[in-house]
A and B are shown apart, each in its own frame.
Chain A
Amino acid sequence: MQRTAVPDVLSPPRGRFRLTYMQRRNLWGFLFAVPALIFFAIFAIYPILRTFYLSLYEFSVVDPPVYVGFENFRNLENDTRFHQAIVNSFLYVFSTYIPVAILALVLALALNTPIRARGFFRTIYFIPVVMSWVVVAAIWKLIFNRQGLMNTLFLENLGIAPKNWLTDSEWAPRAIVIMSAWKELGFFMVVFLAGLQAIPSDLYEAARVDGSSGWQLLRHITIPLLKPTILFVSVISMITGLQVFVPQWVMTQGGPVDATLVMSLNIYRTAFVFLEGGRAAAMSVVLFLIIGAVTLIQFRLARMRD
C-alpha cells in the first residue's frame, strides 16, 4: 500500500529557532537600549574600573604607571590635606543640605496651598536650579567680594563690620554654603512638592473630620507619607554634596589655607596639578566607598524606621 505524505504542521520545524512574542518584544527593547548601554559602559563603567586599577599604580599624567599595590592607600593615612578635605566635605554637606531640606519642605508646604501667585513663586525659587553652577559661583564671587553687595548692601546697613568672605578661612566655607543653599533650594522644593501632591487628599479630609489640628496633620499624615521623598532627598543631598567641586573651584580654589578644599577638588588637584594620578585614583576609590557606605546607612536607617 502506498503511503501518502501528510505535511506535519503541528510540531515545530526542526533546526529553526523561534521566539515568543514576549521574547521578541524584550529583544527589541534590549536592542534599543544597546547604544545607551555602550555609552554607559564606555563613559561610566570603564572609568570606574580604570580608577580602581590605577589606584594600585604610581602614575603621573605624563609617565607610564608603575605597580605599587596598596601603597597609595597607605599613604593616605598620613595625608593631612586628604583628611581635611574629608572633614570639609562633610561639613559642607551638613551645613548646606540639612537647612536646605528643612527650608525646601517649608516652602513646598506653603506653595502646596492655594495661595495667590504660587506658580510665580515656584518659578522664582526654581530659577537658580536651571542656572549653571559656574555662572552662579562667578556671580556670587562678586557678591562676596570685600566691596561686594553682601558687605555694602546688607552688613553695612545692619551696622555690621564688613567680612572678608572669601579670604577668611572661617567665612569662606560659610560663603559657599550660602551660595549653594540658594542654588539648591528650588530643586528640593520641587521634589517635596511632588511628594506632597502624591498624598491622597481624602486622608486629610478624614483627619479633619476627626478634629485633627494642622500640626497633627503634618506629624501623622504628611511626614510619614513623605518618607520615601525624604529618603530620596537625603540620599541625593549626600551624593551631590560629597561630590561638590565647582563652587569651591570657582570661588576660592580650595583656599584660603585649604579651608574650602573638598574631596573632589583635592582629587582633581592631586591628579592634574601635582601629577599624582595613582594617589588621586586611591582618593577617588575612598570617596566612592564613603558615598556607598553613607547611602547604605541611609537606606538601612529608613528601613529600620519603617
Chain B
Amino acid sequence: MANSTPRDPRINRRRFTQGVAATAAAAGITAPAARLTGAQEQTTIKFWTHTHPPMVDLNTELVEAFMAENPDIVVEYEIIPNNEFATKMLTSMGTGTGPDIINMDDNQMRSIYMPRGLVQPVDPVALGFESLDALKAAYIPTALTGATDVDGAVYGLPSEFNVTAAIVNTAAFEEVGLDPAAPPASWDDVWTQGMQLAVRDGDTLTRRGFGWVYLHAGWYHNQLGTLMLQTGGEYVAEDGTTVTVNSPEMAAALGIWHDAIHVHGIEDPNVANTDSTVPYQDVLDGNIAMSFFNPWGMGLITPDAAIGENWSIVPLPQANPDAPVTPLYAYYFAINALTTDEAKKAAANKLIGYLTSVPDRWLAEVAFIQPRVGWEESEAALAMPYIDVWSSEMLKGQFLPVTPNAEQVDAIMMSTIQSSLLEAVPPQEALDAAVPEIETAISS
C-alpha cells in the first residue's frame, strides 16, 4: 500500500512488552500441553511402607529398577515411621488419600482392612498367575492365611513371612559356663539359665537374662500372643463376643512375663530401650542374653553391632515342650480399594508382581522370607543362617487369633500388661480388670 506508514523497525518499550507477553502466553499454552502429553503417557502410583532400613534399601532399589523398566509408570515410595505407621495409613485410607499399594501386617489386614473393604482382592492374572488356585499353589499353605478372608478371597501377597524363635548371646552363655548349643527348651529352663546370665549393677539390671520389647501396643500384643499360643489362651472366644482374657490360660501366659520380672528377676522393662526404630536394639547392643527373635531381625545384625558374631538362633522356649507352638505373622502387599483407575491398578499389580519376583534377593539381602513352595531349598535359603531352625519352627507355626476392634483391644491389653509388669499387679487380677473394657471395645 503506497500510502501506508512505514513501520518503525526500532524496538520501543511498548513493542518489547508486547513481545514478552506474546512469548509468555505461547509458553503458557504450550508448556501445559507438553506436560499433558507426558501425563497421558505416565501413570503415577503411591507405595508406602514402615521403617526397616534393610527393607527400605531393597525396596528403593527395586522401585528404581522397576521404573527404569517401565518408563510409563512413576512410583512415589514413602516411608512412614513405625510408631505412626498404623495410624497414618488408616487415616489416609479413610480420607481417600492413601497409597495405591499398602504394606500391612496380618493382624491389621484381618481385623480392619479386609472386613472394612479398604483393600481389594488380588487379581491373580495381573500378578502373573493363571488363576487364584495357581497363585495359592505357588505359596506354602500358611503363607496367605493372614490375607485370606472366610470366603477364601486373597487380599495380598506376602512381602515378609515371619516365625518367632529365640536368639541367644553366645558370649554371655560362655562367660557364665553355659553351653549355647544347649539352649533352654522350656520356660523353667529360661529361669534357671536366665538367673545365671543376668548381670546387675546395684539395683540396675545391666544384662537381662531374657528380654522383651516394649515399643508399642503391637509389640505387647505379639509377645503376649506368643505366650498365649503356648498356654492355650485367647482374648475373645471363637464366637467373637465372649471375653476370655481372664481365663486361667491367659493368666498363665501373662504369668510367664510377670514372673520373669517379679519372681526370677531376670528382666526389667525399666531399662529397656523404648526409643529405637530398631526393635531389637538391646539384643544388638549385647544387653540381653536371650530374647524372642524373627528372621527379619537378622538383617539388622550388621558388623558394627556390639553383639558381633556372638549369637545363635535356637528354638523358642515352650510352656509345654511336648506340644510346641510358635506364632506366625506376615506383612502383605495389597492394593487400596479406592484404586479403581484401570491404569493405576495395572501398574500397582505390576509393581507387586515385580517386588515379589525376587524372593532370593529378599532372603539374602534383608532376611525376609517370601515363602513360595520350595523356598527353603533355594540357594539363598541354604545360605541363610540357621535355616534349619527357622524351617522347623515354621512347621510349628500358627497365626494369632484376631479380635474385633483389634487396635482398641491391643491398647487395653498394653495397659493391662503394663500394670502387671510395672506395678506388679498379679496377672489374674490385671486381666480381670481388663474384661469390662474389652467387652465394651468389642461390642462397639
**Interface, chain A (partner B; CB < 8 A):** 60-63, 78, 80-81, 141-142, 146-147, 161-162, 164, 166-169, 253, 255-258, 269, 272-276, 279
User: Do A272 and B422 touch (CB < 8 A)?
Assistant: no
Cβ-closest chain B residue relative to A163: B270
Residues from chain A with a CB closer than 8 A to the CB of B118 are 62
Q: Could you show 27 A-B contacts with beta carbons less than 8 Å apart? A: A61-B95, A62-B93, A62-B112, A63-B116, A81-B437, A142-B275, A146-B204, A146-B270, A147-B271, A166-B274, A167-B422, A168-B270, A169-B422, A253-B216, A255-B414, A256-B423, A257-B415, A257-B418, A257-B422, A269-B411, A272-B87, A273-B87, A274-B408, A274-B441, A275-B90, A276-B408, A279-B444
User: Do B422 and A61 touch (CB < 8 A)?
Assistant: no
B407 within 8 A of A: yes
Q: Select which of A61, A78, A169, A273 is within 8 A of B408 by beta carbon.
A: A273
B269 within 8 A of A: yes
B120 within 8 A of A: no
B91 within 8 A of A: yes
User: Do B95 and A164 touch (CB < 8 A)?
Assistant: no
Distance in angstroms between the alpha carbons of A258 and B408 in the assembled complex: 14
Expressed in whole angstroms, the minimum distance between the Cβ of A239 and any Cβ of chain B is 26
B94 within 8 A of A: yes
Interface residues of B in 86-139 (CB under 8 A from A): 86-87, 90-91, 93-95, 112, 116, 118
Residues from chain B with a CB closer than 8 A to the CB of A275 are 90, 112, 405, 407-408
**Interface, chain B (partner A; CB < 8 A):** 86-87, 90-91, 93-95, 112, 116, 118, 203-204, 216, 269-271, 274-275, 405, 407-408, 411, 414-415, 418-419, 422-423, 437, 440-441, 444
Given contacts A62-B94, A166-B274, A269-B411, 12 further A-B contacts (CB under 8 A): A62-B118, A141-B275, A161-B203, A162-B204, A167-B422, A168-B422, A257-B419, A258-B415, A272-B90, A274-B441, A275-B407, A275-B408
User: Do A62 and B408 touch (CB < 8 A)?
Assistant: no
Residues from chain B with a CB closer than 8 A to the CB of A78 are 440
User: Do A256 and B418 touch (CB < 8 A)?
Assistant: yes
Q: How many A-B residue pairs have CB under 8 A?
A: 70
User: Do A169 and B270 touch (CB < 8 A)?
Assistant: no
Expressed in whole angstroms, the minimum distance between the Cβ of B196 and any Cβ of chain A is 23
Residues from chain A with a CB closer than 8 A to the CB of B414 are 255
Expressed in whole angstroms, the minimum distance between the Cβ of B214 and any Cβ of chain A is 8
Distance in angstroms between the alpha carbons of A142 and B273 in the assembled complex: 10
User: Do B418 and A273 touch (CB < 8 A)?
Assistant: no
Expressed in whole angstroms, the minimum distance between the Cβ of B274 and any Cβ of chain A is 8
User: Do A62 and B116 touch (CB < 8 A)?
Assistant: yes
Given the contacts A272-B91, A273-B87, A146 and B271 also touching, CB distance less than 8 Å: yes
Residues from chain A with a CB closer than 8 A to the CB of B405 are 274-275
Residues from chain B with a CB closer than 8 A to the CB of A169 are 422-423
Residues from chain B with a CB closer than 8 A to the CB of A81 are 437
Expressed in whole angstroms, the minimum distance between the Cβ of B258 and any Cβ of chain A is 14
Distance in angstroms between the alpha carbons of A289 and B156 in the assembled complex: 46
Residues from chain A with a CB closer than 8 A to the CB of B204 are 146-147, 162
Residues from chain A with a CB closer than 8 A to the CB of B419 are 257
Residues from chain B with a CB closer than 8 A to the CB of A61 are 90-91, 94-95
The 4 A-B pairs at the shortest CB distance, nearest first, are namely A61-B94, A62-B94, A164-B270, A274-B408
Q: Select which of B87, B94, B270, B408 is within 8 A of A167 by beta carbon.
A: B270
User: Do B415 and A255 touch (CB < 8 A)?
Assistant: yes
Expressed in whole angstroms, the minimum distance between the Cβ of A92 and any Cβ of chain B is 19
Cβ-closest chain A residue relative to B270: A164
Distance in angstroms between the alpha carbons of A162 and B87 in the assembled complex: 35
Residues from chain B with a CB closer than 8 A to the CB of A141 are 275
Residues from chain A with a CB closer than 8 A to the CB of B94 are 60-62
Residues from chain B with a CB closer than 8 A to the CB of A63 are 116
Residues from chain B with a CB closer than 8 A to the CB of A166 are 274
User: Do B116 and A256 touch (CB < 8 A)?
Assistant: no
Distance in angstroms between the alpha carbons of A256 and B217 in the assembled complex: 12
Distance in angstroms between the alpha carbons of A65 and B275 in the assembled complex: 37
Expressed in whole angstroms, the minimum distance between the Cβ of B267 and any Cβ of chain A is 13
Cβ-closest chain A residue relative to B422: A256
Distance in angstroms between the alpha carbons of A269 and B216 in the assembled complex: 13
Residues from chain B with a CB closer than 8 A to the CB of A162 are 203-204
Distance in angstroms between the alpha carbons of A162 and B200 in the assembled complex: 14
Given the contacts A61-B94, A141-B275, A162-B204, A257 and B423 also touching, CB distance less than 8 Å: yes
Distance in angstroms between the alpha carbons of A168 and B419 in the assembled complex: 10
Cβ-closest chain B residue relative to A277: B94
Distance in angstroms between the alpha carbons of A124 and B238 in the assembled complex: 61
Residues from chain B with a CB closer than 8 A to the CB of A62 are 90, 93-94, 112, 116, 118
